[in-house]
Amino acid sequence: MAKVLEGPGMELFNKWGIRTPRHVVISNADQIDSLVHSNQWMRDCKMVVKAHEALGGRFKLGLVKVDLDINQVKAAAKEMLGRDVNGLIISQVIISEMITHKEEYYLAVKSVREGAEVLMAKFGGIEVESNWDKVKRVFVEIGDKPTEKMLEDLAKDAGFTGEHVEKMRKFAERLFECYDNEDGSYMEINPLAINPADGKLVALDAVILLDGDARFRHPDWNFSFASEFGRAYTDHEKTIMEIDSRVKGSVKLIEIPGGTVALLPAGGGASVFYSDAVIATGGSIANYAEYSGDPPAWAVEALTDKVCSLKGIKHIIVGGAIANFTDVKATFTGIIAGFRKAKAEGKLDGVKIWVRRGGPNEAVGLESMRKLSDEGFDIHVYDRYTPLTDIVKFALQGEGK
């Protein structure tokens, strides 16, 4: 799953007819004067300023300011931008019109194993967490959509009456359409409120999780996903994410500064396996990475180049189980090309490479790896008959121990 920040999340909602407050996202407080000049609503109404980051508890952290005039907006933006919150630097804020409201509601769609659930409550905000057992829900099977009657009954069960039943039904229908068409995993509006200016429902927030691997189906997804690690993605991570979104198979990279053992494992399971083995043997990992599902050699080469670029590494572990269909020769072709490029750029000076792999065309692939020693690489290659974690032991404790 991939998290979408509030600004682009609201744009997705708008695309599917879900009303949100007017808003702008800025990275520099100096932009505000020009935006005020171009946006009449910023001159006409009170506003809300929030840190535009994947942070929980923003209000408690002082990262949400409400009922502001334009001078207060400028002051709030200057206060938030550049602030360090547990290692995360606030790089953007979202400024939106303040919708005064009396009641708050809750609406969400979430993926479950057999399909999806539509959730609704006649209360919102922090009340949802303390009254979760009172949130009403209806189940929708895979491939189906909720009927009008299902959503009407859900609204009534949640306590809505009169014209509010129809309003909630239509809003829930639009949210499900957004979820279904945008490859959603979870979409939440909390709070959902009635705008007193026109009596229509408006989503005051947007919590959206999408299937990040579905980006290739959505050329209009012109936004970056929020980092899941309390910090912005690095340039190398962004490059691999972009490649991953458009290739068969998978390539992944997350950097962990300070580690001395770089990982280039085949598959997510092997990645976790080798991470645990390095830590258990007294080492420190410099990254999480994986290549799986038989990705093209050029994608594996790009991943290898980024892994070799990690600062302060002393070892690179190229490990994996016995593959069923991933072509060892083909993926090793990409890894070898990445190694050669890195060596030519001086990135592998003093770095030892440890290889263990099995699968289709393993003999040719492993022999190609072994021949790198003739080119000056400090490389150690093992086949399927060597236990998976032995190469970690060899790297950190010495071969033969």
Q: Residue 163 has which token pair?
A: 């014209």
In this prediction, residues 6-12 reach a mean pLDDT of 95
Is residue 142, in this structure, part of any structural domain at all? yes
Looking at the structure of the chain, the number of domains it has is 3
Read off the pLDDT of residues 104-128 as tens digits, 9 standing for 90 and up. Answer: 999 999 999 999 999 999 999 878 8
Alpha-carbon gap, residue 193 to 123, rounded angstroms: 10
Q: Are strands 207-210 and 184-195 parallel, antiparallel or unpaired?
A: antiparallel
Respond yes or no on whether the N-terminal peptide bond of residue 265 is cis (omega within 30° of 0).
no
- Which of 63-72, 251-260, 325-334 bottoms out in mean pLDDT, i.e. has the lowest? 325-334
Please report the pLDDT score of residue 190 as a whole number: 92
Give pLDDT, residue 155.
97
Name the helix (H) or strand (E) containing 107: strand 105-112
Pairing between β-strand 315-322 and β-strand 261-263 as defined by DSSP bridges: parallel
- Do 248 and 344 share a structural domain? yes
Q: Let me know if residue 4 belongs to a domain.
A: no
Mean of pLDDT values over 197-226:
90
For residues 201 and 303, membership in a common domain is answered with: no
End residue of a domain, out of 76, 97, 118: 97
- 317 inside domain: yes
User: Kind and range of the H or E element at 88?
Assistant: strand 88-89
Pick left, alpha or beta for residue 207 (phi over 0 → left; psi -120 to 50 → alpha; otherwise beta).
Answer: beta
Mean pLDDT, the chain, rounded, equals 92
Do 135 and 91 share a structural domain?
A: no
How confident is the model at residue 229, as a pLDDT? 60
Token pair 């692939």 in the structure block, residue: 365
Average pLDDT over residues 149-170: 97
Determine the Cα–Cα distance for residues 224 and 229; give it in Å rounded to an integer. 14
Does residue 190 fall inside a structural domain? yes
CATH code, domain with 389: 3.40.50.261
* pLDDT for the residue numbered 242: 87
DSSP state of 333: H
**381 plus 258 within the same structural domain:** yes
- Same domain, residue pair 113 and 172: yes
Boundary of a domain, candidates 97, 120, 145:
97
pLDDT, one tens digit per residue, over 132-144 is 989 999 999 999 9
Residues 239 and 344 in one domain: yes
CATH number, residue 131: 3.30.470.20
Model pLDDT, residue 401 = 47
Q: Would you say residue 42 lies in a domain?
A: yes
- In this structure, the answer to whether residues 170 and 239 fall within a common structural domain is no
- 89 and 126 in a single domain? The answer is no
Q: How far is the C-alpha of 61 from the C-alpha of 250, rounded, in Å?
A: 37
Percent of the chain with pLDDT over 90: 72
Residue 162 belongs to a domain: yes
- CA angle 346–352–354, rounded 5-degree value: 130
Residue 12 counted as domain residue: no
Global pTM? 0.70
Give the separation between CA 12 and CA 189, rounded to whole angstroms. 13
Please give the torsion angle defined by the CA atoms of residues 58, 60, 61 and 65, in that order, rounded to the nearest 10 degrees. 70
Given a cut of 50, whether residue 2 has pLDDT beyond it is yes
Q: Work out the burial of residue 378: count CB atoms within 10 Å of its CB; fewer than 13 is exposed, 13-18 middle, 19 or more buried.
A: middle
pLDDT given at position 321: 78
Percent of the chain whose predicted confidence (pLDDT) is above 70:
98
- Per DSSP, the three-state class of 307 is helix
Please indicate, yes or no, whether residues 321 and 349 belong to a single structural domain of this protein: yes
Does the residue 7 lie in any domain? Answer: no
- Pair 249, 376 in one domain: yes
Angle, CA of 220, 222 and 223, to the nearest 5°? 135
Domain of residue 164 covers: 105-217
Pair (83, 154) in one structural domain: no
Domain boundary among 55, 79, 97: 97
Tell me what the mean pLDDT of segment 154-158 comes to. Answer: 97
- 90 and 172 co-located in one domain: no
**Domain at 26, CATH number:** 3.30.1490.20
In residues, how long is the chain? 401
The pLDDT of 5-18, averaged and rounded, is: 96
Q: With bands split at pLDDT 50, 70 and 90, how would you rate the model's confidence at 230?
A: low
Q: How far apart are CA 215 and CA 241, in angstroms?
A: 10
Question: Per residue in 307-330, pLDDT tens?
Answer: 999 999 999 999 887 767 678 888
Report pLDDT digits (tens) over 339-388.
999 999 999 999 999 999 888 888 898 999 999 999 999 999 999 999 88
Q: What is the per-residue pLDDT for 400?
A: 55
